[in-house]
Amino acid sequence: MTIIEKHFEKKLSDREIGEFVANFIDLKGYANMDVIYDKENDPLYIKFKIYEDQLDG
């Protein structure tokens, strides 16, 4: 499993978060992925868990 964490400098808009997550969805191919994002309690932090055993290539 690969874990990617990102801490932002400022709170992002819903559109900016959507674009950020969409970029990772494109990169991961058909692998399963969990996205952990708590907009209310920690809006500057996002975490992706990508299960590598299903990555393409």
Q: Cα(first)–Cα(last) distance of the chain, in Å?
A: 15
Q: How far apart are CA 35 and CA 6, in angstroms?
A: 11
Cα 26 off chain centre by? 11
Q: Say what the pTM is.
A: 0.69
pLDDT at res. 44: 92
Confidence label for 54 from pLDDT (cuts 50, 70 and 90): low
| Each residue's pLDDT tens digit, 1-41 | 788 888 999 988 989 988 888 887 777 777 788 889 998 99
Give the residue among 31, 40, 15 at the shortest CA–CA distance from 4. 31
Segments making up each domain of the chain, as ranges? 2-54
